[in-house]
């Protein structure tokens, strides 16, 4: 058990700091200045103290405790007023209606979603003091709070010492660990878990996908379906499909698609269908992606469906098809968002449709009033650069507001300089990259190749040495499969 000898309440100094903060958060900025007089603070302080004493003396007065509780929730100040909150907790604890306690702990969990480990520990202290140590639901929420806010040591401890666990407790642990990147311990618990359900399987599969262990994710999916006969849920599909396109085998995509269709899992959830469009496209099978897209009824399709299709065309260099889809999407009344524009601009750049691309960029800014972000600029630079319009590309790169500019844009330009053998611009681009990121070996290699191409062997060698001195990491081109 965690240390419970100390008071669960914050120290006096700490409390006054919190209290001050809670006061300021109560008030709107305007009120803030006018009311920050000491007398006001005292008044608030007194009010809280009064409530606190009242609740302590009348723990069974449900009406008042509920009022205080709702006040704490609606003013969003309860995370600051732990002491008052404790008093409310105590009232709920002696309440005859245990639902109140559960409701209250849901609020704590909302609090835990702030991922505030220090505050969470405070509540753990309260929980121990109130004798909830063997309360299954409360303990489960505590485990969730710890694992969500990164308290891995604490969550394991609470979990281990729980006298009773149910499947939710196990799932909270497994999915939480997977999210935190500790798949190995998650897997250990998963294998030990007495009654695995679909949440456990999906959580575990998701954990492997997140950690780029796609084969492992796929193996688990196979085991779930074939050996254990567990039906996947829509969430399982959403977890497994990224593993499929990372492996890139369209046969696996078809297999899972067929399975989902046969069992009727795919017809209900547009998110799964969109993910499937994306997966087919990323597996290199644009035909299947398009066919599947066309099968989805018009009322079911949404903006993400269209965007997934367009981004698929983009990665296959099918600029014309992407542009046509974009127009059709607009005709059907969909309003493109920033992601749709990234996709269509990317399609224009891969399909060398410069004029169309520039038109889309203007349309985005003027007609849809979307502020371009760095990816939109990146597409533009790429589009101009790959068609040899290097001056224009550099001009755009220089016009990007410095708050959003990054090394990727200059790296794109450097790539174009390398292709067209523009040494001077390449050097300028390299200089910009080096201001932002010095540890990426490929930049040095690319620039030194440009220099070699121009016959400047000594400069190329100097750059290579600089790369070694700076310990820049050079990733060899390799296939993961």
Partner DNA sequence: TTAGGGTTAG
Query: Which one, 45 or 337, has the nearer CB to DNA?
Result: 337
- Give the x-and-dash track for 184-223 against DNA (CB under 7 A): -------------xxxx-xx-xx--x--------------
Query: Which one, 304 or 460, has the nearer CB to DNA?
Result: 304
Give the residue, chosen from 81, 101, 308, 430, that forms a contact with DNA under the rule CB under 7 A: 308
Separation of first and last alpha carbons in the chain: 46
Token pair 């008071």 is at which residue? 7
Q: How far is the CB of 77 from DNA (least distance, A)?
A: 22
Query: Which one, 177 or 467, has the nearer CB to DNA?
Result: 177
Binding span for DNA by CB under 7 A among 48-56, 59-67, 185-193, 297-305: 297-305
Tokens, residue 139? 């303990």
Q: How far is CA 158 from CA 124, 142, 173, 226, 271, in A?
A: 10, 8, 11, 34, 36
Give the residue, chosen from 216, 278, 356, 427, that forms a contact with DNA under the rule CB under 7 A: 278
Residue 97: closest CA among 146, 137, 138, 62: 62
Q: Which residues are within 8 A (CB) of 421 and not within 5 positions of it... i.e. 6 or more apart?
A: 450, 453, 454
Q: How far is the CB of 32 from DNA (least distance, A)?
A: 34
Residue 275 engages DNA in binding (rule: CB under 7 A): yes
- The gap from C-alpha 317 to its chain's centroid, in whole angstroms, comes to 28
Query: Which one, 44 or 166, has the nearer CB to DNA?
Result: 166
Are the beta carbons of 348 and 356 closer than 8 angstroms? yes
Query: Which one, 22 or 209, has the nearer CB to DNA?
Result: 209
Q: How far is the CB of 71 from DNA (least distance, A)?
A: 21
Write out the binding residues for DNA, residues 73-112 only, by CB under 7 A. 99, 102-103, 106, 109
Q: How far is the CB of 136 from DNA (least distance, A)?
A: 6
Query: Which one, 182 or 459, has the nearer CB to DNA?
Result: 182
Residue 382 engages DNA in binding (rule: CB under 7 A): yes
Residue 338 engages DNA in binding (rule: CB under 7 A): yes
Query: Which one, 67 or 97, has the nearer CB to DNA?
Result: 97
Residue 354 engages DNA in binding (rule: CB under 7 A): no
Q: How far is the CB of 110 from DNA (least distance, A)?
A: 10
Size of the site for DNA (CB under 7 A): 65
Query: Which one, 46 or 103, has the nearer CB to DNA?
Result: 103
Q: How open is the CA angle 372-377-382, to the nearest 5 degrees?
A: 155
Residue 180 engages DNA in binding (rule: CB under 7 A): no
Q: How far is the CB of 156 from DNA (least distance, A)?
A: 16
Give the residue, chosen from 23, 84, 224, 239, that forms a contact with DNA under the rule CB under 7 A: 239
Q: How far is the CB of 42 from DNA (least distance, A)?
A: 38
Residue 190: closest CA among 220, 160, 149: 220
* Cα 109 to Cα 125: distance, rounded to the nearest angstrom: 15
Residue 176: closest CA among 204, 197, 196: 204
Give the residue, chosen from 270, 365, 436, 472, that forms a contact with DNA under the rule CB under 7 A: 270
Angle, helix 198-210 to helix 234-247, in steps of 10 degrees: 30
Report the 10 Å Cβ neighbour count for 348. Answer: 28
* Cα 297 to Cα 50: distance, rounded to the nearest angstrom: 62
Tokens, residue 207? 């954990």
Angle, helix 423-436 to helix 407-420, in steps of 10 degrees: 160
Report the 10 Å Cβ neighbour count for 97. Answer: 10
* Cα 258 to Cα 16: distance, rounded to the nearest angstrom: 62
Report the 10 Å Cβ neighbour count for 366. Answer: 9
* Cα 432 to Cα 481: distance, rounded to the nearest angstrom: 35
Give the residue, chosen from 171, 325, 430, 448, that forms a contact with DNA under the rule CB under 7 A: 171
Q: How far is the CB of 78 from DNA (least distance, A)?
A: 17
Q: How far is the CB of 469 from DNA (least distance, A)?
A: 23
Give the residue, chosen from 15, 20, 54, 137, that forms a contact with DNA under the rule CB under 7 A: 137
Sort 449 into a burial class: Cβ within 10 Å, 0-12 / 13-18 / 19+. middle
Return residues touching DNA (CB under 7 A). 99, 102-103, 106, 109, 136-137, 140-141, 144, 166, 168-169, 171-172, 175, 197-200, 202-203, 205-206, 209, 233-236, 238-239, 242, 270-271, 274-275, 278, 302-305, 307-308, 311, 337-340, 342-343, 346, 349-350, 374-375, 377-379, 382, 406, 408-409, 411-412, 415
């Amino acid at each position: 058990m965690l240390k419970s000898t100390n008071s669960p309440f914050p120290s006096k100094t700490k409390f006054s700091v919190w209290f001050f903060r809670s006061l300021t958060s109560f008030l709107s900025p305007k009120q803030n200045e006018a009311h920050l007089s000491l007398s006001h603070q005292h008044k608030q302080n007194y009010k809280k103290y009064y409530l606190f004493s009242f609740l302590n003396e009348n723990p069974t007065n449900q009406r008042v405790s509920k009022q205080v509780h709702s006040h704490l929730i609606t003013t969003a100040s309860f995370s600051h007023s732990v002491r008052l909150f404790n008093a409310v907790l105590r009232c709920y604890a002696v309440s005859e209606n245990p639902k109140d306690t559960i409701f209250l702990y849901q609020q704590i969990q909302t609090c835990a979603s702030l991922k505030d480990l220090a505050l969470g520990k405070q509540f753990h202290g309260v929980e121990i003091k109130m004798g909830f140590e063997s309360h299954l639901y409360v303990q489960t929420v505590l485990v969730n709070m710890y694992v969500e806010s990164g308290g891995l040591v604490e969550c394991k401890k609470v979990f281990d010492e729980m006298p009773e666990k149910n499947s939710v407790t196990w799932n909270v642990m497994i999915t939480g660990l997977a999210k935190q990147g500790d798949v190995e311990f998650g897997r250990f618990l998963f294998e030990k878990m007495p009654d695995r359900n679909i949440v456990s399987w999906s959580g575990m599969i998701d954990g492997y996908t997140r950690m780029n262990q796609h084969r492992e994710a796929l193996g688990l999916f196979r085991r779930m379906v074939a050996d254990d006969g567990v039906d996947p849920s829509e969430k399982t599909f959403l977890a497994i499909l990224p593993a499929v396109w990372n492996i890139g085998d369209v046969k696996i995509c078809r297999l899972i698609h067929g399975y989902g269709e046969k069992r009727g899992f795919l017809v209900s959830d547009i998110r799964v269908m969109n993910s499937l469009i994306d997966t087919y496209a990323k597996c290199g099978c644009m035909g299947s992606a398009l066919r599947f897209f066309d099968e989805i009824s018009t009322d079911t399709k949404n903006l993400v469906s269209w965007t997934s299709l367009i981004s698929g065309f983009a990665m296959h260099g099918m600029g014309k098809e992407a542009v046509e889809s974009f127009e059709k999407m607009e005709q059907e009344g969909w309003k493109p968002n920033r992601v749709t524009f990234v996709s269509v601009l990317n399609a224009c750049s891969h399909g060398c449709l410069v004029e169309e691309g520039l038109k889309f960029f203007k349309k985005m800014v003027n007609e849809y009033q979307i502020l371009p972000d760095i990816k939109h600029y990146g597409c533009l630079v790429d589009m101009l650069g790959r068609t040899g319009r290097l001056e224009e590309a550099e001009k755009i790169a220089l016009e990007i507001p410095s708050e959003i500019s990054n090394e990727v844009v200059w790296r794109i330009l450097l790539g174009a300089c390398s292709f067209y053998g523009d040494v001077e611009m390449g050097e300028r681009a390299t200089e910009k990259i080096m201001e932002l990121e010095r540890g990426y070996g490929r930049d040095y290699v690319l620039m030194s190749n440009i220099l070699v191409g121009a016959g400047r062997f000594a400069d190329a060698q100097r750059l290579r040495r600089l790369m070694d001195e700076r310990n820049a990491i050079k990733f060899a081109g390799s296939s993961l499969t």
